[in-house]
Structure 1
Amino acid sequence: MFDSHYDYASDARRDNVVAMPMRGAVPREPSELTRFGMMYGASPAMREVFAMVERVAPTEAAVLVVGESGCGKELVAQTVHQLSARADAPFVAVNCGALPGSLIEAELFGYEKGAFTGANRTHPGVFERAEGGTLFLDEITEMPLDMQVRLLRVLETRCFTRVGGEREMRCNVRVVAATNRDPHQAVAEGALREDLLYRLAVFPIALPPLRERAADVLLLARHFLGELNREHGTQKKLTEASEAAILRHAWPGNVRELKNCLQRAYIMSENWVEVDPENAMPGMGSRPATRPGMLEFEVGTSLPDMERRMIIATLDKFAGNKRKTAEVLGVSLKTLYNRLNEYARREARYATA
């Protein structure tokens, strides 16, 4: 199914990587990193993601990928595209959060010559450029609400009009969207229209952060080092101390942080690669280490999301003892049960969206 994109057989067992066959087969050795499309992983969490992608890719369903920054949401979208009937058509990605509000309409739908100052020629938007293929809308919760209304109409009618144009154009595009926020919380905060959420989340996929993929961390590090060795014709290896440091680190920047950290350590080393994740950017200040039993929150995380993570982590710390959890958090047992019931309802609603 992937033959036109990648020779998986030639990569088998290279740098502890095996290609994951279709239909849910798993590697014989749990110590091996599995490649599935553009993604890598050996942990149960990632194998579940692989299975979900394999299920939805051949369909025309809209997909919403939810995960922290640096987890590889675009790789999920690219894999969905590669495994679909649209694989030979374009894959076009656009970051909704990187476009100014004044330009996002022109980038999505294109514009006619003379539509505004500087429009010296007709410009096709991403819906036209992705015709017949897949359009990846990253950071969908950062799109202005008025544009969300227009996007919803295009998704429902498959028709749009260029800025400055009058002719309605039809499009044949599959949309995969992504966000690093809790989508239901984004709806509650007014950042995402609820009707658009349900239109995009026909098939939601939750991508786990690297800290929840313990079986993958060291395998990924070795894999990235192997790529660098092949690229530069070297045979550098990780020291035992480096491997221990990699396993200890929380990786708040997820796979992107791990890959960048390995690349810098590779550049700075001779034969043995010394990795120090806590001092990966010398001269740029230090970041407090996240010790076991501690939570780390990215600036900009919503208070309800921090509260949810704190409750779940505390409940886990006390092995599910709700009375002890409520006592430590300083809330009543009733309040704790209300919160947990709310989270359960939200998860159920999200799973059936």
Structure 2
Amino acid sequence: MNHVLIVDDDVDSATSLRDLVATENFSVALAHTLRDARRQIALQPPDLVLLDLQLPDGSGLDLFSDPDLVASSELVLITGHASLETSIEALRLGAADYIVKPIVMRQLQGVLSRFMKPAALKADVARMNAGLASKGHFGHLWGQAPPMLRVYEQISRVAGTAVTVFITGESGTGKEVVAQTVHDLSRRRKQPFLAVNCGAISPNLIESEIFGHEKGSFTGADRQHLGFFERANGGTLFLDEITEMPLELQVKLLRVLETGRFMRVGSTQSQEADVRVIAATNRLPEQAVASGKLREDLLYRLNVFPIELPPLRDRLSDVGLLAQHFLEGIAKQEGQPKRFTSSALERLATYHWPGNVRELRNAVQRAYVMAAGEEINEEWLPRPQAGVALPAAAALQAEPAAPVAAAELAAPAVDPSMIVSLPVGTSMAQAERALIEATLRYHKFQKERTAAVLGISLKTLYNRLKEYAADSEDTSAST
């Protein structure tokens, strides 16, 4: 039987909590001070510690200074409010979760059901690291370039905690795969992982989809609908393209993150949200705040633990490994093995991949279909585009140090229509718009090709063009 130590100076609260824990098939001990807690730990090392922050002889966080305790026991904080500062400090010290006062049985049951010794989590990370060393993949993520090794280290560090994760990176870099890997290494792994693209849901329906609605709450609501928070109960909710969520809904999401409660549309009764939120965006977060697409307070609440995914052009050494992985998957599905020629692998490793890993996967699939025999050569692979001074997304993030003329950016014999030249002082939003509109014109307003070249989703492109049209109308009206 696993053993729980409850450390709380409120005798009545600790006794009530002990009775609740005992019903879940745990043995329980109580301590009301740090001194009592250390004595109980010496008598019987606990598997799980429920730890109040405010104690008569110090802070509950002082127990984290015992490396043996942190290594062998899961530590869960008991707190009146899960503040951002507490989250950061708890992560740094190794806390696994929170119980927010006043404690309710459902919240406690969720924590107890996710109980897992730190050694088990470390073993899972060790297995993934073994796969990285032998085959070049960390769970579902492939690559051994230094930027990816840093991502794996961050995932290993944060997965076992309850901290909110904010993933940034260009479209197609694998943000959902990172979120899935965090979930797979977390204590919530046996519960649902639900991925939601906020940019793919109608603004009129997104609140209902996220929080659910009651029967009769609006025209057409002929039955009760469970939203994403309820469907992901106990697990992880991944909110992709968070900057596409309407601002009024961002306020409600912030409230859920701060209080752990939400209400269905048309309801007056709040519910517990036992969900870990992971968010992502392909925009630069600060730019999204400046352009009014993301609330600054929500950014601070989401960005407790940021993970930045590198574009594929910054880890070209991984392209061959990724291409082989995709090729093996396609060959297994189609039942016909094929292989790349050396010249094909060379072509893959020299292309700049504006669409990142997603574009690479599509390119491999197309080359597989077009290859007549067992060998895939460079004939059907993407060709480097002459005159592209910076890959599309890199141009959006570059910080010019001085005015740059078009001729300085271009290679010899460059098509002038493929060059975007911007003066120093251009805002990031203006640079993004100039690049998107120029790329759209170059590709003769073919939106699918434009989105692929820019490395963004078609939905994101449509959203941007809609914004630009609205801005143009406002400018015309004001003049």
- Please confirm whether the aligned pair reaches a TM-score higher than 0.5, indicating the same fold: yes
Q: Counterpart of 2:126 in structure 1: which amino acid?
A: P
| 1:289 paired residue among 385, 391, 395 | 385
Taking the aligned partners of 1:231 and 1:307, their CA distance within structure 2 comes to 38
| 2:317 paired residue among 204, 207, 215 | 215
Taking the aligned partners of 1:20 and 1:243, their CA distance within structure 2 comes to 31
Partner SS state of residue 126, structure 2:
coil
Name the larger-Rg structure: 2
CA contact (8 A) 2:193 2:236 kept: yes
CA contact (8 A) 1:33 1:220 kept: no
Which residue of structure 2 lines up, in the alignment, with residue 234 of structure 1?
336
CA contact (8 A) 1:295 1:310 kept: no
Q: TM-score, normalised by structure 1?
A: 0.74
Say yes or no: does 1:274 pair with 2:377: yes
Deviation for aligned residue 1:108? 0.7
Taking the aligned partners of 2:307 and 2:264, their CA distance within structure 1 comes to 32
Say yes or no: does 1:172 pair with 2:274: yes
Change (3 A) 1:26 1:47: farther
CA contact (8 A) 1:105 1:163 kept: yes
CA contact (8 A) 1:42 1:216 kept: yes
Aligned counterparts, 1:1-353, within 5 A: 21=126, 33-269=135-371, 270-275=373-378, 276-278=380-382, 289=385, 294-297=389-392, 306=396, 308-311=398-401
Change (3 A) 1:24 1:37: closer
Change (3 A) 1:309 1:37: farther
Deviations 1:53-85 (A, max 9, x none): 000000000000000000000000000000000
Change (3 A) 1:23 1:257: closer
Deviations 1:215-252 (A, max 9, x none): 10111111111112222332211122211211121100
CA contact (8 A) 2:131 2:137 kept: no
Change (3 A) 1:264 1:23: closer
* Aligned alpha-carbon RMSD (Å): 2.8
Q: Counterpart of 1:185 in structure 2: which amino acid?
A: Q
Unaligned 5+ segments in structure 2 are 1-123, 409-421, 426-479
Change (3 A) 1:214 1:278: closer
Taking the aligned partners of 2:205 and 2:132, their CA distance within structure 1 comes to 46
CA contact (8 A) 2:317 2:349 kept: no
Deviations 1:263-314 (A, max 9, x none): 11111212111343336xxxxxxxx8156x821325xx9xxx73734449x9
CA contact (8 A) 1:20 1:27 kept: no
Change (3 A) 1:127 1:48: same
Change (3 A) 1:27 1:156: closer
Q: How many percent of aligned residue pairs carry the same amino acid? A: 51
Which residue of structure 2 lines up, in the alignment, with residue 339 of structure 1?
none
Deviation for aligned residue 1:179? 0.3
Taking the aligned partners of 2:364 and 2:125, their CA distance within structure 1 comes to 25
Deviations 1:110-164 (A, max 9, x none): 0011111211111000000010000000000111111100100011111111111
Deviations 1:313-335 (A, max 9, x none): x9xx9xxxxxxxxxxx987xxx9
Deviations 1:23-76 (A, max 9, x none): 966855xxx652212211111110110010000000000000000000000000
CA contact (8 A) 1:63 1:200 kept: yes
Taking the aligned partners of 2:312 and 2:240, their CA distance within structure 1 comes to 19
Deviates more, 1:158-167 or 1:201-210: 158-167
4+ runs deviating over 4 angstroms: 22-28, 309-312
CA contact (8 A) 1:70 1:254 kept: yes
Partner SS state of residue 382, structure 2:
helix
Q: TM-score, normalised by structure 2?
A: 0.55
Number of residues of Structure 1 aligned to a counterpart in Structure 2: 285
Partner SS state of residue 136, structure 2:
strand
Taking the aligned partners of 1:70 and 1:307, their CA distance within structure 2 comes to 16
Change (3 A) 1:307 1:135: closer
Change (3 A) 1:223 1:122: same
Change (3 A) 1:228 1:186: same
Deviations 1:324-347 (A, max 9, x none): xxxxx987xxx9xxxxxxxxxxxx
CA contact (8 A) 2:136 2:321 kept: no
Structure with larger RCO (C-alpha < 8 A, sep 6+): 1
Taking the aligned partners of 1:111 and 1:142, their CA distance within structure 2 comes to 21
Taking the aligned partners of 2:129 and 2:370, their CA distance within structure 1 comes to 40
Q: Counterpart of 1:144 in structure 2: which amino acid?
A: P
Change (3 A) 1:26 1:134: closer
